[in-house]
C-alpha cells in the first residue's frame, strides 16, 4: 500500500473516530505517537544511531582492502536492520500497552495524522524510560 493510501486511511480513521465521539464529551478512540519526539529524546535510539554512524565512518576511512570493507559494510547493514527492528518492537510493545490501558481502538504515528486523536507519546515514553523533553523544534 502506498504512503498516500496509508495517509488517507489514517485521516479517515481519525475523522470517523472524532465523529463518533460527538454525542457528549469528546472522546477519541485514536492514539497518536510522535516518533520524531521519541527519536530526539530516546537515549537507546541515539546510542544506536551514533554507534552505527561511528562504525560506518571507521569502515569508510580504514586502509583495509575494498573486499574487506564491503564485508564489514554488509555486517554493519545487518546490525542496523537488527537495531531498527529492536527499536520498532520496543515502541510497538509500549504502544500496545498504552492502547490497552486507555481502551483505544487505533494507534498511529502523529506524522500521518493532520488533527484529532489523543497524544499518547508521553505514556509511551514512560514505558520506554525516556525523560520527557518535549517535541523538538522543526
CATH code (residue 13)? 3.30.910.20
34 domain-assigned = yes
- Residue 84 domain-assigned (yes or no): yes
In a domain, 132, yes or no: no
23 part of a folded domain: yes
**Model pLDDT, residue 133:** 60
Residue 133 lies in a domain: no
Residue 30: name the closest of 125, 120, 136 by CA: 120
Residue 106, φ and ψ in degrees, nearest 5: -135, 150
| Domain extent for 66 | 3-127
- 37 lies in a domain? yes
The model carries a pTM of: 0.70
Is a pLDDT exceeding 70 seen at residue 86?
Answer: yes
Q: What total of structural domains would you count in the chain?
A: 1
Q: How far apart (Å, rounded) are the C-alpha atoms in residues 99 and 112?
A: 18
Q: Which of 85, 93, 86, 82 is nearest to 127 (CA)?
A: 93
Q: What is the pLDDT of residue 128?
A: 92
Unique residue bearing C-alpha cell 529492536? 86
Amino acid at each position: 500500500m502506498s504512503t498516500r493510501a496509508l495517509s488517507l486511511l489514517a485521516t479517515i480513521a481519525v475523522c470517523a473516530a472524532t465523529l463518533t465521539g460527538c454525542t457528549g464529551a469528546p472522546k477519541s478512540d485514536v492514539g497518536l505517537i510522535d516518533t520524531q519526539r521519541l527519536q530526539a529524546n530516546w537515549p537507546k535510539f541515539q546510542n544506536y544511531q551514533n554507534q552505527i554512524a561511528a562504525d560506518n565512518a571507521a569502515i569508510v576511512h580504514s586502509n583495509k582492502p575494498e573486499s574487506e570493507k564491503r564485508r564489514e559494510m554488509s555486517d554493519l547493514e545487518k546490525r542496523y536492520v537488527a537495531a531498527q527492528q529492536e527499536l520498532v518492537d520496543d515502541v510497538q510493545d509500549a504502544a500496545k500497552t498504552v492502547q490497552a490501558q486507555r481502551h483505544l481502538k487505533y494507534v498511529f504515528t502523529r506524522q500521518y495524522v493532520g488533527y484529532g486523536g489523543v497524544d499518547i507519546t508521553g505514556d509511551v515514553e514512560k514505558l520506554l524510560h525516556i525523560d520527557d523533553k518535549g517535541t523538538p523544534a522543526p
